[in-house]
Amino acid sequence: MTIEAGQHPAEQHAGDVDVARSRATWAMILLGLTAAQRAVTIPLTLWQSSLGDAVRRGEPPPQESLERSDQLIQLAGVAQLALLVATGTLFLMWLHRTLKVTRALGGDTLRWTPKDAVWGFIIPFINITRPFQVMRDVHDHLAPEVLPEPPVQVQSSELSGYRGVEVKAPPPPVQLPHASIGAWWGFFWVGNVFGNIAARQTGTTIDAVLARNALNAVSDAIDIVSAVLAIVVVRGVTARLVERYRRARHNPVEALAAAGITITDREP
C-alpha cells in the first residue's frame, strides 16, 4: 500500500482498527446471547428432571408436560448449536483482525501470526493451551506504555474564545490480569468436559435422563461464567488495541522510531 505524502503511517490501519472494534462488539453481543441461552436452558433442564423424578416416584405428570419438556429441550439444543457456530466464527474473525493490526502497529515481535492464532483454537490438543497463550501474548504486546503518550491536545472553546480551553485527556489503559484470561479458558474447557460427559450418557432410563440433565445443568452454569469472562477479555484486548492505535497515530514518526516502534504497511 502506498502512503500519501504527509499521511501518518498509522493512518492506513484506521479501517482495520474499526473492523476489529466492530467485530468485537458483535462477538460480545453473541457471547451475551450465549450466556442468556444457557440461563434459560438450566430451568428447562431442571423442570424436565422434576418430571422424570415424579415418574420415578409413581406420580406420572400429564403426557403433554413430558412431550413439551422434550420439545423445549430439543429447541434449546438447536439454539445452543447455532450460537456456538456464530459466536465462534465472529470471535475468530475478531482475533484474526486484532492480531493483524497488533503486528502492524509495532507488535511484529509477536510470535503468533493471525493464522497461527485461529488454527490454535481448532487443532486438537494444541487448542488445550494455545488459545490462552495467544490471548495473553496479544494482551501484553498491546501494552500502552510501549509507546510514548502523545502530547495533550488543547482546543479553544468556540463559546468562550481563547479564555476557555478544552483539554482532551487520554482514556486510562485497560489491563487484564493473566489470571482472568486463564480463568476464561479454564471455565470454557471445564464446561466442555461436563458437556461431553453428558453427551455420552445415551441411556433412555429415567435414572440416565436425570444424570444427563444434571451434567448438562452444570455444564450450562459453567458456560455462563465462561461467556462472561470472554466478554471481559474481548473488551479489554480491544480497548488496548484502540489505545495502541491512538498513541501510534498521534505520535510523530520520530518519537515512534525513538521508542523502537515500526509501523508496517497494511497488507492488501
Residue 156 maps to a domain: no
Q: Structurally, how many domains does the chain consist of? A: 1
Per-residue pLDDT tens over the stretch 45-62 = 999 999 999 988 888 889
Residue 136 maps to a domain: yes
- Tell me what pLDDT residue 8 has: 86
CA–CA gap between residue 95 and residue 182 (Å, rounded): 17
CA–CA gap between residue 171 and residue 208 (Å, rounded): 54
Q: What DSSP letter does each residue of 186-231 carry, written as one string? A: HHHHHHHHHHHHHHT----SHHHHHHHHHHHHHHHHHHHHHHHHHH
Residue 167 maps to a domain: no
Confidence at 89, pLDDT banded by 50, 70, 90: very high
Q: What is the mean pLDDT of residues 132-145?
A: 87
Residue 268 maps to a domain: no
Residue 90 maps to a domain: yes
Residue 23 maps to a domain: yes
> What percentage of the chain carries pLDDT values higher than 90?
57
Per-residue pLDDT tens over the stretch 161-207 = 444 445 455 555 567 888 999 999 999 999 999 999 998 888 888 88
- For residue 131, pLDDT beyond 90: yes
Determine the structural domain holding residue 89 and report its residue range. 13-143+175-258
Query: How much of the chain is helix, strand and coil, in % rounded to 5?
Result: 70, 5, 25
Confidence at 152, pLDDT banded by 50, 70, 90: low
Measured in degrees and rounded to the nearest 5, phi and psi for residue 153 equal -90, 130
CA–CA gap between residue 82 and residue 22 (Å, rounded): 21
Residue 157 maps to a domain: no
CA 2 to chain CA centroid, Å, is: 33
Least confident of 7-11, 37-41, 229-233: 7-11
